[in-house]
């Protein structure tokens, strides 16, 4: 960002760390203030090398925490390199080493530029509850990825979710801020609750099919016999269990192995499996008098289209999905997992926007911890294909229909 009204150039401290520039920083006592006369937290100065159109430049840059943009080139940079702004040609020109070069306004738009998101008003959240808010940002109107702040929110044990949301007139779509503590939490006006960056409509980062819906909360115990799948050979499952407990002592392994082998079916992940239960179903209540939403499939590269068709075929064969003639439709997107493999997702943002919201109180963390008293063994469990395990209520299944180039 070039700001001719700023007397200094500055760089966001977090962004500087990502650049991993091997350059010395210098301490400074020079006070810096915003246009509103508020103090800026300066952690140092760095001589930053910048290259534009193969022309190398250097600028003394102040390192600022929570800067609203990654890099700000101010009046000092404009004076040093004789920056000209030509609105008629929509370009900027720079002069360095007796050579002038120009760049179009939109040529160096950084789609990864990060904007801070701040609270519009003071917010009070009751214990073990959540509040839905709108926040403000200097980001332009766009579809954006929201990443919660790990500093200001975590100190208060407010675990905000990542989200894809719309920015309009410097205001965000609704954000959910859950208070996981047993005391009232207050967030001051102007608190930085996270950051947003540009999101392409044909790229998906976080997808949650269905926001907040009504559940029946009494769930009966599920036996291993209620799981449908073709089973791995016994020896393969035994090897899997042995790998899970290899770090324990011999006596502990013998004790735990007996329990795990008793429930060996749950360790078989060779085929997709679904638990049969009629005790709970997922509802998607829609705002009254809202017409069904129809979306066209996103244009995808041929390789991704092939992946989508293959995964749809596999889900049909495993009875995860079925063909549809629903008046509703949402598009499919493919994103990469951490291991590089493709993940099949459906973009339900438009459906989420018209879903009735309800704030269900979070369980008390201290109650959960109390239940662990006297326990000797602790572990973590990762449910394979977790979204497939809770069935959609029959009357709401038509709302979850997704569309591909081959139809619904």
Burial of 322 (0-12, 13-18, 19+ CB in 10 A): exposed
Q: Is pLDDT above 70 for 247? A: yes
Q: Is pLDDT above 80 for 59? A: yes
pLDDT value, residue 224: 40
Q: Mean pLDDT lowest for which of 281-290, 303-312, 320-329?
A: 281-290
> How far is residue 82's CA from residue 124's CA, in Å, rounded to a whole number?
49
Q: How far is CA 340 from CA 304, 334, 337, in A?
A: 13, 11, 5
In terms of DSSP bridges, do strands 192-198 and 142-148 run parallel, antiparallel, or are they unpaired? antiparallel
> How far is residue 406's CA from residue 92's CA, in Å, rounded to a whole number?
47
Q: Mean pLDDT lowest for which of 127-131, 209-213, 228-232, 277-281?
A: 209-213
Residues 6+ apart with CB under 8 A from 132: 174, 175, 176, 177, 357, 359
Domain spanning 302-403, CATH architecture: Roll (3.10)
Residues 6+ apart with CB under 8 A from 179: 125, 126, 127, 128, 129, 130, 131, 156, 157, 158, 185
> How far is residue 343's CA from residue 68's CA, in Å, rounded to a whole number?
33
Backbone angles phi, psi at 390, to 5 degrees: -105, 115
Q: Is pLDDT above 70 for 203? A: no
Taking residues 157-167, what's their average pLDDT?
81
Q: Is pLDDT above 60 for 393? A: yes
pTM for this predicted structure: 0.39
Q: Domain boundaries in the chain?
A: 10-104, 114-198, 302-403
Answer yes or no: are the C-beta atoms of 163 and 134 closer than 8 Å.
Answer: no
Hey, what CATH topology would domain 114-198 get?
Answer: Deoxyuridine 5'-Triphosphate Nucleotidohydrolase; Chain A (2.70.40)
Taking residues 342-348, what's their average pLDDT?
87
pLDDT value, residue 77: 86
Answer yes or no: are the C-beta atoms of 179 and 158 closer than 8 Å.
Answer: yes
> Who wins on pLDDT, 321 or 156?
321
CA 336 centroid distance within chain: 14
pLDDT value, residue 51: 82
Best mean pLDDT range from 63-72, 320-329, 382-391: 320-329
Number of residues in the chain: 408
> Who wins on pLDDT, 202 or 335?
335
Confidence of residue 183 (pLDDT cuts 50, 70, 90): confident
Q: Mean pLDDT lowest for which of 227-231, 335-339, 395-399?
A: 227-231
> How far is residue 65's CA from residue 261's CA, in Å, rounded to a whole number?
53
pLDDT more than 90, % of the chain: 1
């Amino acid at each position: 960002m070039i700001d001719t009204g700023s007397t200094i150039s500055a760089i966001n401290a977090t962004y500087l760390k990502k650049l991993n520039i091997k350059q010395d920083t210098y301490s400074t006592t020079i006070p810096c203030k915003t246009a509103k006369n508020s103090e800026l937290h300066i952690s140092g100065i760095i001589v930053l090398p910048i290259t534009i159109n193969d022309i190398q430049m250097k600028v003394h840059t102040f390192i600022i925490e929570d800067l609203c943009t990654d890099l700000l080139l101010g009046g000092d940079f404009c004076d040093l390199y004789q920056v000209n702004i030509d609105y008629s040609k929509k370009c900027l020109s720079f002069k360095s080493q007796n050579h002038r070069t120009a760049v179009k306004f939109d040529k160096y738009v950084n789609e990864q530029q990060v904007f801070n998101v701040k609270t519009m008003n003071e917010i009070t959240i009751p214990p073990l509850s959540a509040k839905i808010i709108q926040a403000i940002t200097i980001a332009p109107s766009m579809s954006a990825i929201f990443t919660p702040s790990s500093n200001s929110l975590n100190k208060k044990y407010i675990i905000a979710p990542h989200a894809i949301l719309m920015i309009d007139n410097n205001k965000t779509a609704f954000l959910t801020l859950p208070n996981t503590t047993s005391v009232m939490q207050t967030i001051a006006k102007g608190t930085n609750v996270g950051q947003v960056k540009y999101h392409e409509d044909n790229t998906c980062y976080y997808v949650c099919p269905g926001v907040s819906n009504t559940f029946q909360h009494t769930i009966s115990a599920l036996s291993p016999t209620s799981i449908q799948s073709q089973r791995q050979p016994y020896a393969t499952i035994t090897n899997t269990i042995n790998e899970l407990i290899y770090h324990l002592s011999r006596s502990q392994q013998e004790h735990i192995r007996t329990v795990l082998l008793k429930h060996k079916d749950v360790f078989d992940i060779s085929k997709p499996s679904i638990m049969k239960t009629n005790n709970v179903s997922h509802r998607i209540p829609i705002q009254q008098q809202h017409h069904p939403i129809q979306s066209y499939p996103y244009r995808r590269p041929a390789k991704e289209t092939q992946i989508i068709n293959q995964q749809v075929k596999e889900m049909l064969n495993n009875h995860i999905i079925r063909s549809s003639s629903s008046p509703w439709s949402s598009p499919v997107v493919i994103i990469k997992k951490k291991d590089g493999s493709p993940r099949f997702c459906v973009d339900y943002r438009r459906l989420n926007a018209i879903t009735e919201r309800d704030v269900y109180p979070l369980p008390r963390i201290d109650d959960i911890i109390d239940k662990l008293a006297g326990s000797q063994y602790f572990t973590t469990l990762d449910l394979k294909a977790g979204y497939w395990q809770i069935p959609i209520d029959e009357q709401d299944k038509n709302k979850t229909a997704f569309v591909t180039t081959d139809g619904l």
